[in-house]
Amino acid sequence: MIKCYLAIIALLFCSNILLAQDNPPAWAGGADQRDLSFGFSFSYVDNYYKILKKPNWQTPFLDPQNGNQPVTSAGTSISSPNTPGFAVGFLTRYDFTEHFEVRLTPSLIFADRSLSYTYADTTDNVKKIVQSTTIDLPLAIKIKSDRHGDFRGYFIAGLKYSYSIGAKANSDNTAALVDRTVKNVGSYESYEAGIGCDIYFEYFKLSPEIKISNSFGNVLLPEAQPYSSPISKLFLHSLMINLYFE
């Protein structure tokens, strides 16, 4: 997977040479000739958690309603597999200079997250899916290179606010302990950074982009149940491959 990302990045920058022209036409529907312009996006999303465990995370959770009997055997690992998803969004950008702009890119994210638990008794092993649909509100700065023909490279960085609109309802609080799900907070903030390029066609501008995002704080909603209790904090890491049409 890492080799694939590196190959994409190398291709973006090598295209600078391949697409170079001395006198580029004012294509892309005149998007760069206006300070304010709009567009839309489609994105591939890949999520995983950075997990901070409690010192006693291996200790089995005791069920107070069943004579303090352990719900599972002793824990041996907690991990977070990469989980894919997708997003659709809009783009509003404002040019301050030829090489500097501000972008607002609200998106609707459909990307679940997962946690995998293993135990001394392997029959207890389980994967818990954290169902999630969020509205992301990223505000970023874009620093652009000179335009060479139909190509321009750029770097982007900014902050993002995420609000959950599709978290699983709290109705599973009455479910058996082994059927409980891990819950996340309803909103959180992240920082983002990425690279991309603007490719100019006759009637629109296409901007492929690779971006990483990391939450500032803990996204775990603490609960007294077997799958949340061993965890001290969860930090959400995301990789997005975006296609912007403007």
**CATH code, domain carrying 78:** 2.40.160.20
What pLDDT is recorded for position 2? 45
Please give the C-alpha separations between residue 192 and each of 42, 154, 211, 240, in angstroms, as whole numbers.
17, 14, 7, 10
What pLDDT is recorded for position 183? 92
Candidate from 3-12, 33-42, 215-224 with smallest mean pLDDT: 3-12
The percentage of residues in the chain with a pLDDT greater than 70, rounded to a whole number, is: 83
What pLDDT is recorded for position 62? 92
Work out the number of other CB atoms within 10 angstroms of the CB of residue 163. Answer: 11
Q: Per the confidence metrics, is the pTM higher than 0.85?
A: no
What pLDDT is recorded for position 28? 57
- Residue 158 exposed, middle or buried by CB count within 10 Å (0-12, 13-18, 19+): buried
The count of domains in the chain is: 1
Per-residue pLDDT of 11-48, as tens digits, reads 444 444 444 444 455 555 566 777 888 999 999 999 99
- Residue 125 exposed, middle or buried by CB count within 10 Å (0-12, 13-18, 19+): middle
At 203, the pLDDT band (50, 70, 90 cuts) reads: confident
- Domain residues for the domain of 184 are 2-245
At 77, the pLDDT band (50, 70, 90 cuts) reads: very high
Per-residue pLDDT of 181-190, as tens digits, reads 899 999 999 9
What pLDDT is recorded for position 145? 92
